[in-house]
Structure 1
């Protein structure tokens, strides 16, 4: 199985600090690679992966003000789709724009919808409904206008989150500083409870921060610590009494909520979006509709078992579970869209199919080879376009480089192998009176077709 993974390019994959979509892409990619799946990650050039990395931009446009985002997004997406035929499946994590490139390839496309930034983007999803395969990240985030292949909750790497059995003494806000995330509401909760509040996250709305947050900062009871990387995140989440999550929008998932519970820290959240799916009310936190309820439930947090918070995440939100769920989707989609032109060793494209000749453009993956075979009603001429080929002709190995060719008369035993690190591409011209696939006698085959 060869998967092309399309990550956003706002930030590096995985992100250094903020970048929830990039974070999920990284966890999924590395989990697939660990299971032996061939993954090519299309991301920024400074991204890190154990799979293959392909990039057109050196770093994320949020980290380089000189980059025009739409230009680099178009270049990034087209880089994948122009070579889409090389993969068994494309997994899109880049929202709706890549769907408009889907006509460039016959390779099936799975799109994880990480949320709808606006109802105005729905026309694109509607247009490609049933043509592409959609995955929701929560039941709450599903649109009734679309068909979904599956709902797959995000998973996290539990090894990055240290369980702490002892309750902390401060409240925590962890997320982007923006009105819809409820930063100002957290300050109000802290004021009414008299508890210390620590806030961490990127400032996404500077005016909101300047007017609703900054005036309350005192470096004592109300503290803003900036964006937090993995180590600081683990420390802040694990040391808190509770994570406050008074969201003002229907959040599709909420990674910080799961990450907090993984450390043993309960969450008190507004009942919007996916929160009822993510939080076990009364066991791993509390769900309410307003600040009054949030203040009231904070008194009950001390009665919750922090071990249950961790167990809840281990059972439902591990990266292993997420990876296994996606593999099932991949297998289902590939089986439903199985293509005659794709083989375990590579793929081909028919360029011409006439009564007296047939022409194919054939790609062989690194380290792969075709069966050792012969034909009785056709001869073949192979011309290497790129890569290195080792052609076996009647038991003799012959090397052919780009720009070189070889003739294989009727009845010749032959095979081709790609010994190099890159794809081998060659043109095959068949001449004769019959070109059916049943005009093949195999004596050796790596895929059990003899």
Structure 2
């Protein structure tokens, strides 16, 4: 389990990605699954903790981020052979290591900081697996193995059916999160607003937020610890989530609902997947509708808010969903007996034809051979190879294909620095592995 190192796992204060990694890791351990957590050294887990970064770099500015990110990621991939699956929660950087190992890599895409990072995700789209955290936040340029929405430990969030008379903003202080708009809703509603969260954009805080803080109606409590965060969530009349971007999930929304606190949110991103409009909160288009929604909070059952999370967003449900993902990946990557040159996977087999996904390791090669009962068609998925076809030698790259008729002598060598992966479609009256006549073989099988 590869966690980010911006914050500890679990985080002391803010850290939604790290929080999800912790809940998933501990849930898997409870199921008897052997998990090694790669995180900061001050992290905690019932599994095995491996760390090279002593503290979160957001808490210790003396830590050179790129150096420790490189060290952190390299640790898991240098130990890849010890694991059945590598689960990456560290964004796109670990993908650049993924083709250097045989262990399958699944990445939970928690968010896109920019479309500029998409080329990395697109490059590894066909060789790794992606999980989305909401249907709304899927990129149509990528393939996904599943959507797994976050789950939380509902028992650690206190339910409160008798809230105090204040609205709440709790998130990072940033234009995307709509801090300014939350202040406007509170002022126009004539209600107190408590705010908490770390200042992600100091200039925005100074210009748009700080001038309104009077510690009477508009109160900023700073970057609070988890205990205080849960107190604020459970005692609030409603959470204001006035986002200005297409949010991938919205963990704070689910945490508020767990406490029985309805949410007034701008209808963007995953919000319709979290909030039942008119039942557990209100989906609004902007400040005007949010002000009107404040007046209708009495119609919301706080008990129903809690029950909606228990049914849809529990840790157990999330863990179960990820176990299904792992099982699917392992089935997809199920290998035949490993060959000295690499391995293959039978994708489908029917009378008269067989389809394989073949992986040849760097600088290795399949024996010089021919078949008496079948012809083959090779399509190169990734890597760089050299195909011997009778007396000809053909250099092949991604997207190239080669036809090999019955009795044609052939071989493929991986001449690149990464795995050579190709699809083999065989057609004929016999598909057995003993239909191979070898002429040369570097592994002594001729």
TM-score (norm: length of structure 2): 0.75
Cα distance in 2, alignment partners of residues 304 and 11 from structure 1: 35
Shift of 1:339: 3.4
- CA contact 1:247–1:269 (8 Å) conserved in 2: yes
Cα distance in 1, alignment partners of residues 61 and 147 from structure 2: 36
Cα distance in 1, alignment partners of residues 185 and 254 from structure 2: 21
Cα distance in 2, alignment partners of residues 95 and 65 from structure 1: 21
Cα distance in 2, alignment partners of residues 340 and 60 from structure 1: 42
Shift of 1:99: 0.4
Query: Mean alpha-carbon deviation: is it higher for 158-167 or for 315-324?
Result: 158-167
Match of 1:167 in 2: 163
Runs of 4 or more consecutive aligned structure 1 residues displaced over 2 Å after TM superposition:
339-342, 350-353
TM-score (norm: length of structure 1): 0.75
- Name the SS for the 2:169 alignment partner: strand
2:120 matched to 1:124? yes
Cα distance in 2, alignment partners of residues 64 and 302 from structure 1: 44
Equivalent of 2:199 in 200, 203, 210: 203
Shift of 1:206: 0.8
Match of 1:270 in 2: 266
Cα distance in 2, alignment partners of residues 332 and 252 from structure 1: 24
2:282 matched to 1:286? yes
Shift of 1:181: 0.4
Deviations 1:139-198 (A, max 9, x none): 110000111000010000111101111233100001000011000111111110110000
Equivalent of 1:64 in 60, 64, 67: 60
Shift of 1:83: 1.2
- CA contact 2:172–2:198 (8 Å) conserved in 1: yes
Shift of 1:21: 0.4
Match of 1:8 in 2: 4
- Write out aligned runs for 1:145-164 (5 A): 145-164=141-160
Shift of 1:103: 1.7
- CA contact 1:201–1:228 (8 Å) conserved in 2: yes
Match of 1:139 in 2: 135
- Name the SS for the 2:195 alignment partner: strand
Shift of 1:340: 4.9
- Name the SS for the 2:90 alignment partner: coil
Deviations 1:349-408 (A, max 9, x none): x9999x9xxxxxxxxxxxxxxxxxxxxxxxxxxxxxxxxxxxxxxxxxxxxxxxxxxxxx
Match of 1:178 in 2: 174
- CA contact 1:161–1:262 (8 Å) conserved in 2: yes
Which blocks of at least 5 consecutive residues in structure 2 are unaligned?
A: 339-360, 368-443
Cα distance in 2, alignment partners of residues 194 and 159 from structure 1: 33
Cα distance in 2, alignment partners of residues 260 and 229 from structure 1: 16
Equivalent of 2:190 in 169, 180, 194: 194
2:27 matched to 1:45? no
Pairwise CA RMSD: 2.0
Cα distance in 1, alignment partners of residues 187 and 220 from structure 2: 15
- Name the SS for the 1:76 alignment partner: helix
Cα distance in 1, alignment partners of residues 129 and 364 from structure 2: 31
Cα distance in 1, alignment partners of residues 364 and 119 from structure 2: 37
Match of 1:448 in 2: none
Query: Mean alpha-carbon deviation: is it higher for 148-157 or for 211-220?
Result: 211-220
- Name the SS for the 1:269 alignment partner: strand
Cα distance in 2, alignment partners of residues 166 and 61 from structure 1: 39
Match of 1:93 in 2: 89
Cα distance in 1, alignment partners of residues 69 and 172 from structure 2: 23
Cα distance in 2, alignment partners of residues 312 and 241 from structure 1: 18
Equivalent of 1:334 in 310, 330, 337: 330
Match of 1:422 in 2: none
Equivalent of 1:321 in 317, 320, 328: 317
Cα distance in 2, alignment partners of residues 168 and 295 from structure 1: 18
Match of 2:299 in 1: 303
Cα distance in 2, alignment partners of residues 88 and 81 from structure 1: 12
- CA contact 2:185–2:290 (8 Å) conserved in 1: yes
Match of 2:225 in 1: 229
Equivalent of 2:75 in 74, 79, 88: 79
Change (3 A) 1:352 1:247: closer
- CA contact 2:99–2:127 (8 Å) conserved in 1: no
